[in-house]
Homo-oligomer: A and B are copies of this chain.
Amino acid sequence: MKYSQATDYALHVMFYLVATAPDNPVSVQQLAEKLGVSQTYLSKMLTKLVKAGLIQSMSGANGGYRLRRNWEDISFLDVIHAIEGTASLFECGLDHGSECLIQQVVTEAEHQMEQYLKNKKIHELAGQFKGMD
């Protein structure tokens, strides 16, 4: 059980955008260069972030990706959900008639973690992130 590397990339991209360029669009090429990742793969995640409404894309020359208006509210959980999906991380596959107690406990534990990630806004920590290297 591990968060995918894609989530790692996505979080760093969001940090970078918030810290250095909240208004200007940045091309995939620049982002990939900063992170040391391939452009083509990174673009997959950016597409997911767009679909989740966290950033917006500007196509054409001088285009790229830019934060949306409400970027100051974006939390860690938002980014993680955008990449990993919102499915519960545990689902009881056995068919004992009643509701599964185990399911309930693990789901509640997951909720604890999500609550923490929901309260951590990218904006709050991005200040210490300038430069990124």
Contact = CB atoms under 8 A, between A and B. Distances in A.
Interface of A: 1-5, 7-8, 11-12, 15, 35-36, 76, 84, 87, 89-97, 101-102, 105-106, 108-110, 112-113, 115-117, 120, 125, 128-129, 132-133
How many copies make up the complex? 2
13 contacts: A1-B1, A1-B4, A1-B7, A3-B89, A8-B90, A8-B91, A11-B102, A12-B92, A12-B94, A12-B102, A101-B128, A101-B129, A113-B113
Given A84-B1, A109-B76, A116-B108, A93 B129 contact: no
A4 B92 CA distance: 10
- The 6 A-B pairs of least Cβ separation, nearest first, read A113-B113, A109-B116, A3-B90, A112-B116, A109-B113, A109-B117
Contacts of A3: 1, 89-90, 106
A21 B120 CA distance: 44
A39 to B, nearest CB: 16
A35 B95 CA distance: 9
A73 to B, nearest CB: 16
Contacts of A96: 132-133
